[in-house]
Amino acid sequence: MDRSLVIVKPDGVQRGLTGEVISRIERRGYRLVAVKMLQVPRSLAESHYAVHAGKSFYDGLVSYICSSPVVVMVWEGKKVIEAVRQVVGATNPTNAAPGTLRGDYAVEVGRNHVHASDSPENGQAEVALWFRPEELVAWERIGENWLYE
Give 66 or 88: the residue with its C-beta nearer to Mg ion: 88
Give the bridge partners for 5, in sequence order: 74
Question: Which one of Mg ion, ligand DAT, none is in contact with 100 (Cβ closer than 5 to 8 A by kind)?
Answer: none
Identify the sign of the CA torsion 48, 62, 16, 69.
Answer: positive
Active-site annotation, residues: 115
Choose between 4 and 18: whose C-beta lies nearer to Mg ion.
4
The CA distances from residue 101 to 25, 54, 144, in Å, are 10, 28, 24
> Cα dist. 115→7, 41, 104, 134, 145 in Å?
5, 17, 15, 23, 29
Report the distance separating Cα 135 and Cα 116, nearest Å: 19
Question: Which of the residues 13 through 42 are near ligand DAT (CB under 6 A)?
Answer: none
**Contact characters 63-92, ligand DAT, x per CB under 6 A:** ----------------------------x-
Give Cα 33 to chain centroid, integer Å: 13
Is residue 61 involved in binding ligand DAT (CB under 6 A)? yes
Q: Smallest distance from the beta carbon of 34 to Mg ion, in angstroms?
A: 19
Which of these ranges, 11-19, 93-101, 107-115, 140-148, lies near ligand DAT under the rule CB under 6 A?
107-115
For Mg ion, the binding residues (CB under 5 A) are: 118
